[in-house]
A and B are shown apart, each in its own frame.
Chain A
Amino acid sequence: MASQISITGFVALYIFMLAAFAGWVIIGRVPAILHTPLMSGSNFVHGIVVVGGLFALLNASTITEQAIGFAAVLLGAGNAAGGYAVTGRMLAMFQPSGHNAGPAKPHHSKKG
């Protein structure tokens, strides 16, 4: 992917370690009331795997690679789009007192 720079063993471990701490701290502060949207939100975040799928597909040079790469992009795109759709819907439902007397609209959508 990047020929000039390369992330070797220990640098990778540093990145993994710091990212793991970041994830732990960010999620640790989320109130339990948001745990479902948070799980689907983090589910959405790992949808970034679609980027790796695109790399694999665009560099495919055999039918097999094309087929598997296609599957990777298809699944990754589903992960990202679906995760965003459900998380956005759920979060839009959380309203404070006095904001809106009626129930949240189930199809309130945002472009994204």
Chain B
Amino acid sequence: MLPLISELTIGAADLGAAFLLMYGLKRMSSPVTAPSGIFVAGIGMLVAIFASFLYVFDVSAEAKPYLPVNIGLAVLALALGGGVAWLSGKKVAMTAMPQMVALYNGMGGGAAGAIAAVELFGGKTAGATQLGMTLLGALIGAVSLSGSLIAWAKLDGVINQPLRFTGQQAVNGLVMLATLGLGGYLLFLAESGSVPLVALPQLIGLFFALALIFGILMTLPIGGADMPVVISIYNAFTGLAVGFEGFVLQNPALMIAGMVVGAAGTLLTLLMAKAMNRSVSNVVFTNFGGAPKHKQGAIKGSLKPVEAGDAGIFMRYAKEVIIVPGYGLAVAQGQQKLYEFVKLLQAAGVTVKFAVHPVAGRMPGQMDVLLAEAGVPYDLIFQLEDINDEFATADVALVIGANDVVNPAARTDKSSPIFGMPILNVDKAKQVYVVKRGQGKGYAGIVNLLFYGDNCNMVYGDAQAVLVQMIEAVRGLGTAAAA
């Protein structure tokens, strides 16, 4: 009787958990309801975890003697893994968020792979479908684990250079084929019942090793600028692996949660790649840095530097200012100073809006988070498609730490590597100020035509220092001018 009751309780708890996770995810679709969304999802997760302990009433006969130890191990693993990740998640800086998400994602992939390993080494799968799903989940989970770790290392600066060598794609292809071939062989062995050439555990171990190596090889050549797409891909991968292992364990909650994330991650990946004007296969299989040198046409005009203070005062007397923040702003830790400056402008009656490009930052939407952290209200933050027409009527566009995403060459120069990429039409504003450290180029290594326009002035210097000068200049006008 007890096993049946526990089974029903687990079933009901998992159903409830799946509902709460989906409902929570849905509530995250608006900034107003989002904080309650993650809270609801969190409750769902806790319900599922606590209900899992009811499995103790339903373990197989051979696992019975191990039960007390297993329960202890489970509590220890939950406390240890959960505790360390919780603390690190609470104190990580917002600029380090992409690598943190990559790390948590790799952990999920590793967990899915480990579940598959228990099933495979224990010979617990019954039938070709289940074995096939287990192997598929194992492959995707392992690739997601090792790939996410490499992505983390790249984003964290542990690995600085993309590793590339000739024939790399051939090697990657061979490793992939070997992994799939070995998986097929394992399936064949199980189905035909023939004796393997090598002991089965070794074969399974080799399968995991190949999958892990493939994840590493696949991620190493991808440049740092493409990491947003890569994290997104691995997020989808882990979701799929979890979904497949959910099928193997006959747990619909895992199947649903995993597949929802798999689909969501795929959609995010496509959105991200589109915003970067590249296809997903282009990101994964070709190397941006190795692109042929682009011949720059003759440039008309010149760079016209101005003082930060003068630019600040000009904006103080403008009607509308649109600010385009890029990752360079976050590198200079200038978000707080920027919002301080914005509040001064607002107090003087200037309409200020933020225009955020989808790839500003190192993962989708990271710039929005960084602005929100500095206290910028979300109703001042606009996305590319919502604000792009407004540049034509704005008095001033202020570009800070952004470069390629405001380069008009993407619209006009067919030979440019960024041609066709959606950009912010900053050049249409009456006056443009570009805050920049020096005269260097963007990551794509392309000269920015915007900077040479008649309506554009350059403000050279560290973003934070420049903003301090702007703030001082506007404050220096005193209350008389503000009245």
Interface residues of A (CB under 8 A from B): 1-9, 12, 15-16, 19-24, 26-62, 64-66, 68-104, 106-107, 109-110, 112
Contact = CB atoms under 8 A, between A and B. Distances in A.
B29 A29 contact: yes
A31 B70 contact: no
Interface in B15-55: 17, 21-22, 24-26, 28-32, 34-35, 37-39, 41-43, 45-46, 48-49, 52-53, 55
23 contacts: A7-B250, A20-B260, A22-B260, A26-B260, A26-B264, A33-B356, A37-B365, A40-B104, A42-B264, A43-B261, A51-B49, A53-B77, A56-B249, A60-B63, A68-B121, A75-B81, A79-B107, A82-B100, A85-B90, A88-B35, A92-B35, A96-B378, A103-B339
A104 B31 CA distance: 14
B239 A46 contact: yes
B55 A55 contact: yes
B226 interface: no
Contacts of A107: 90
The residue in B41, B60, B115, B231 that gathers the most chain A C-beta atoms within 10 A of its C-beta is B115
Interface in B141-174: none
Contacts of B245: 49, 52
Q: Which secondary structure dominates where chain B touches chain A?
A: helix
B56 interface: yes
Contacts of B247: 7, 12, 16
Contacts of B249: 1, 52, 55-56
Interface string B264-287: 111110010000000000000000
B46 A24 contact: no
Contacts of B21: 45, 48
Contacts of A59: 55, 59-60, 63, 70
Contacts of B84: 78
B235 interface: yes
A112 to B, nearest CB: 4
A2 to B, nearest CB: 5
B383 interface: yes
Contacts of B14: 51
The 6 closest A-B pairs by CB, nearest first: A85-B89, A35-B365, A23-B263, A82-B85, A77-B81, A23-B260
Contact of B251 (A31, A51, A85): A51
A64 B251 CA distance: 23
A41 to B, nearest CB: 5
Interface string B238-250: 1100110111011
A100 to B, nearest CB: 7
A72 B88 CA distance: 19
B104 A82 contact: yes
A50 B373 contact: no
Contact of A55 (B52, B66, B121): B52
A35 B49 contact: no
Interface of B: 7, 11, 14, 17, 21-22, 24-26, 28-32, 34-35, 37-39, 41-43, 45-46, 48-49, 52-53, 55-56, 59-60, 62-63, 65-67, 69-71, 73-74, 76-78, 80-86, 88-90, 92, 94, 97, 100-101, 103-105, 107-108, 110-112, 114-115, 117-119, 121-122, 129, 231-232, 235, 238-239, 242-243, 245-247, 249-268, 271, 336, 339, 343, 356, 358, 361, 363-366, 368-369, 372-375, 377-381, 383
Nearest to B259: A19
Query: B49, B122, B372: which has the most chain A beta carbons within 10 Å?
Result: B372
A97 B343 CA distance: 11
Contacts of A23: 259-264, 267
Contacts of B60: 59, 61
A38 B62 CA distance: 42
A52 B115 CA distance: 7
A93 to B, nearest CB: 4
Nearest to A27: B264
A16 B243 contact: yes
A86 B81 contact: no
A34 B67 contact: no
